Amino acid sequence: MDSTGDWEIPAHMQPRQEEAGFDLEAALSSVVLVRAEVPDDAFTASALGTERLGSGVVVERDGIVLTIGYLITEAQTIWLTTGDGRVVAGHALAYDQHTGFGLVQALGRPGVPPLPRGSADRCSVGSSVVLASQGGRRHALSTRVVAKREFAGYWEYLLDEAIFTVPAHPHWSGGAVIGHDGRLIGIGSLLVQEKIGGKEVAGNMAVPIDLLEPILGDLLTRGQANRPARPWLGVYATEASGHIIAAGVAPGGPADRAGIERGDIILEIAGEPVSHLADLYRALWALGGPKVEVPLSLARGRKIWSAAVQAGDRNSFLKKPGLH
């Protein structure tokens, strides 16, 4: 979503300095606008677009910006804009598919302080937090944590524990979730629906900052975490009525090559029945590396059939960033 337009969070929903236990303006100044341009023929262009806008947070003094990875995946050009209007080029340094984090190296001096990192463990359900996109207090939202639980995404993504906040920020992508002590505890990822008092309300899902610490050194020096790659099916799956349904398949991906089609129901993986995305992903990743053969049992209409999917490495389908 465009974070540069003439908009603002309603005044009564913005955080107040007198209610914050930290320098609010200084913390918000660490949040920058991230604008990424992706080639038309990029693997993710059709799903995520070729022009992506969101936020990121300066987390190191040498201009390292933490954001949500889908903003910068396959980006060939990145621009960073600070709250005072300074614009510097950036380079996509790393994208970690396990966590969803992305790192950008500013190629100039952004001139803003890094936001200290905290821990989502110190934030409990019911805690008040700030979710901020670039733009200072006008683009910052006072919100609260309503849940900390597992999250499974249709793109073969799983977090053991994500942060869920209400109300929703309208420009959540890459935004900073700031705890009561002024430290970064998460990065905004998605708009979600939460049940509060029997009603569904819009909220946000954020990736806990704790997942960054064990891999930050690798991301800075190697561009990826030092751990085995996972097998990838290329199925965009959803749960419905106790079934896992292929809502789509990645063109040219492993599932597509194996003949799996939109609407197919995945019944079993390696002989084990599955009815939840999290169970499917854990069973898939337990089979081995990216080249493992994945036996699936599926339903298409009234027909039950089997597929032996030669899994792939998702990273091999993605364009690598260029350095300008």
Residue 292 belongs to domain with CATH number: 2.30.42.10
In a domain, 323, yes or no: no
| Domain edge (last residue) among 58, 79, 114 | 114
Confidence band, pLDDT 50/70/90 cuts, at residue 6: confident
- Is the dihedral angle over the CA atoms 158, 163, 166, 171 positive or is it negative? negative
Alpha-carbon torsion (221, 172, 118, 20), positive or negative: positive
> Cis ω on the peptide bond leading into residue 231 (within 30° of 0)?
no
| 61 and 108 within one domain | yes
Mean pLDDT within 84-97 = 96
| 94 and 60, same domain (yes or no) | yes
Does the residue 216 lie in any domain?
no
| Averaged pLDDT score across all residues of the chain | 96
- The candidate with the shortest Cα–Cα distance to 105, out of 227, 219, 184, 225, is 219
Residue type, position 310, single letter: Q
In a domain, 63, yes or no: yes
Condensed to tens digits (0 to 9), the pLDDT of residues 157-189 reads 999 999 999 999 999 999 999 999 999 999 999
What average pLDDT score do residues 4-15 get? 89
pLDDT of 4 > 80? The answer is: no
Instruction: Decide: pTM greater than 0.75.
Output: yes
- Where does the pLDDT of residue 323 fall: very low under 50, low under 70, confident under 90, or very high at 90 and above? low
Q: How confident is the model at residue 197 (pLDDT cuts 50, 70, 90)?
A: confident
For residue 102, is pLDDT > 70?
yes
Asked whether 165 and 193 are in contact (CB, 8 A), the reply is: no
Please indicate, yes or no, whether residues 68 and 42 belong to a single structural domain of this protein.
yes
| Residue 261 banded pLDDT, cuts 50, 70, 90 | very high
Looking at the domain assignment, is residue 153 inside a domain? yes
Among 56, 91, 114, the domain boundary falls at 114
Is the pLDDT score of 3 beyond 70?
no
- Per the CB < 8 A criterion, the answer to whether 210 and 120 are in contact is yes
CATH number for the domain harbouring residue 142 = 2.40.10.10
The answer to whether residue 199 sits within a structural domain is yes
Domains in the chain, number? 3
DSSP string, 282-310: HHHHTT-STT-EEEEEEEETTEEEEEEEE
Which of 57, 86, 114 terminates a domain? The answer is 114
Domain of residue 136, residue span: 120-211
